[in-house]
Amino acid sequence: MSDKKNIEHNHNEHHHHHHDHSLLPEEPELRVKAIETLLLNKGIINSDTVNELIDTYENKIGPRNGAKVVAKAWVDPEYKKRLLENATKAIEELSYTGRQGEHMVVVENTPKLHNVVVCTLCSCYPWPVLGIPPTWYKSDEYRSRTVREPRKVLQEFGLELDLNTQIKVWDSTSEMRYLVLPMRPAGTEHLSENELEGLVTRNSMIGTGLPETPK
Amino acid sequence: MTRIHDMGGRFGDGPIPLKKIDGKVVDDEPVFKTDWHAKAFAITVASASVGKWSIDKGRFFRESLPPKDYAKFDYYEKWSSALINLLVERGLINKNDLIEITKKAKEDNLEVSQVTDEHQNVLKAKDVAITLGRGGPSAREVIHSPKFKVGQEVRTINYSPNKNIIGGHTRLPIYARGKKGKVILHHKGHVLPDASAHDLGDSPEHLYTVEFLSTELWGDKDGNQKDSICIDLWESYLI
């Protein structure tokens, strides 16, 4: 077998295909409309499915799921233990499973350690618990700078960490998806799980923020 | 060498694009900023069920956009452009289709026709929840025992780990090549993206999380004595 030849052929094919998009209209809105129309007419996608997918991520799957996981871990030490030992299974207890959260790891913040999550190579993010990532998470600025200067990046989020606190940056290069378990804010002993859930912000579960404090 | 997407540690990018009011971060961005963002997202997810490319192949097509396009494209422009390139590569659409639809688009004449023969694998609305809930786990059995243990010191290889394809897909970022770190987690066997992105099967390998000191990656001056960076790496990336 002439493997080398095949590989070279594939390489050229790839090279070729990676420019096909330039045949479409340049203006992004019109380009997407053209692709959508083409795919609908070819029977490759279905318009009800398109609407269902948009509705799912706009209304059903988002950071409130993650907030429920965090609040439960704050009030239930046994759950927290399960969550840190096998996050995928513990999160499945709350019925959050599947696409882009197939393999979960939860990393715990402590007074000495602060975790922050990034994906330098693309935009990997735990969809079942946090939904679709915000624009800043997908930006070149966040992707390039967080691994090299996490303290400066966190400062821009308004997060000034003690110089003695260690920062661990998690670069999501595989299908493992990371969720930060933030520290429970002081003065929340009297709050219910439901009330605590309201304090958990999206950014606190990525590591670029802290939970809110009770008013 | 590497490609334009591999930007960890790069200099020159400005402030994180955050919405701030009175200096405080405000997190109230809608899930999709525009209708076409939502559409680009949904048609990509929906097409994957028919196109049957792996998630790794999808990523490879995004990072293989010409660097000039990658740099100027909005996130969902990258998604939709890579989608078109994938559909052509898979033979589900052809160049003439693209030329024709573009002509219609420019004439403001985009019409959805009555579809009589939907593709047999088309994702149906009623199956969306179950399909998303199932996802696509990447864990696989690996017969041989792991080469490295948690706590062990390892070094990453100093070149692209993709042995099969020159310029092929890999998940070893260039900023972590040839660096010394310590294994902190072992995730057992997972699909190897370097193979899966090129239709070469799952080729599963043991996957580890390796912790690198900031100073090991960025040097004593730029790095921070306290901090570390944890990266998921496959066995063949490590020595």
Which residue in chain A is spatially nearest to B216 when comparing CA positions? Answer: A148
Residue A51 is assigned to a structural domain of this protein? no
Residue A4 has a pLDDT of: 45
Residue A15 has a pLDDT of: 53
Average pLDDT over residues B31-51: 96
Task: Find all residues with CB under 8 Å of A12, minimum gap 6, and list them.
Answer: none
Judgement on whether residues A25 and A125 belong to the same structural domain of the protein: no
- Nearest-CA distance from B125 to chain A in Å? 4
% chain B with pLDDT above 90: 91
pTM of the model: 0.95
* pLDDT tens figures, B184-225: 999 999 999 999 999 999 999 999 999 999 999 999 998 899
Tell me the chain A residues in contact with residue B138 when contact means C-beta distances shorter than 8 Å.
102-103, 174-175
Q: How far apart are CA A125 and CA A168, in angstroms?
A: 17
Judgement on whether residues A104 and A129 belong to the same structural domain of the protein: yes
Assess B39–A contact: CB distance below 8 Å, yes or no.
yes
CB atoms within 10 A of CB A61: 24
Judgement on whether residues A127 and A100 belong to the same structural domain of the protein: yes
pLDDT tens per residue across all 215 residues of chain A: 344 444 444 544 455 678 899 999 989 999 999 999 999 999 999 999 999 999 999 999 999 999 999 999 999 999 999 999 999 999 999 999 999 999 999 999 999 999 999 999 999 999 999 999 999 999 999 999 999 999 999 999 999 999 999 999 999 999 999 999 999 999 999 999 999 999 999 999 999 999 999 87
> What CATH code is carried by the domain that includes residue A141?
3.90.330.10
Q: Do B207 and A18 touch (CB under 8 A)?
A: no
Q: How far apart are CA B225 and CA A143, in angstroms?
A: 21
Q: Domain residue spans in chain B? A: 31-134, 153-237
Number of domains in chain A: 2
Tell me the chain B residues in contact with residue A157 when contact means C-beta distances shorter than 8 Å.
16, 18, 25
Q: Do A11 and B165 touch (CB under 8 A)?
A: yes
Q: How far apart are CA A42 and CA B76, in angstroms?
A: 22
With helix as H, strand as E and coil as C, how does chain B read? CCCCCCCCCCCCCCCCCCCEECCEECCCCCCCCCHHHHHHHHHHHHHHHHHCCCHHHHHHHHHCCCHHHHHHCCHHHHHHHHHHHHHHHCCCCCHHHHHHHHHHHHCCCCCCCCCCCCCCCCCCHHHHHHHHHHCCCCECCCCCCCCCCCCCEEEECCCCCCCCCCCCCCCCCHHHCCCEEEEEEEEEEECCHHHHCCCCCCCCEEEEEEEEEHHHHHHHHHCCCCCEEEEEEEHHHEC
Q: Is the pLDDT of residue B28 over 60?
A: yes
Average pLDDT over residues B140-167: 96
Q: How far apart are CA A203 and CA A70, in angstroms?
A: 13
Assess B89–A contact: CB distance below 8 Å, yes or no.
yes
Residue A16 has a pLDDT of: 65
Judgement on whether residues A36 and A93 belong to the same structural domain of the protein: no
> Please, which pLDDT band fits residue B115 given cuts at 50, 70 and 90?
confident
Judgement on whether residues A40 and A137 belong to the same structural domain of the protein: no
CB atoms within 10 A of CB B10: 18
**Right CATH for B153-237 from 3.40.50.1100, 3.10.450.50, 2.30.30.50, 3.40.190.10:** 2.30.30.50
Which residue in chain A is spatially nearest to B137 when comparing CA positions? Answer: A102
Assess B83–A contact: CB distance below 8 Å, yes or no.
yes
Q: Do A144 and B7 touch (CB under 8 A)?
A: yes
- Nearest-CA distance from B201 to chain A in Å? 15
Residue A44 has a pLDDT of: 95
Provide the number of CB pairs (under 8 Å) joining chain A to chain B: 337
C-alpha triplet A134, A137, A141: angle, nearest 5°: 135
Q: How far apart are CA A58 and CA B71, in angstroms?
A: 27
Q: Do A142 and B16 touch (CB under 8 A)?
A: yes
Q: How far apart are CA B81 and CA A89, in angstroms?
A: 36
> Which domain, by its residues, includes A170?
62-206
Residue A2 has a pLDDT of: 41
Assess A47–B contact: CB distance below 8 Å, yes or no.
yes
Domain with residues B31-134, CATH architecture: Orthogonal Bundle (1.10)
Q: How far apart are CA B126 and CA A56, in angstroms?
A: 12
Chain-wide mean pLDDT for chain B? 95
Residue A215 has a pLDDT of: 79
- Nearest-CA distance from A91 to chain B in Å? 12
Assess A76–B contact: CB distance below 8 Å, yes or no.
no
Q: Sheet holding B205-213: strands in order across?
A: A113-118, A166-171, B228-234, B205-213, B180-190, B153-155
Assess A152–B contact: CB distance below 8 Å, yes or no.
no
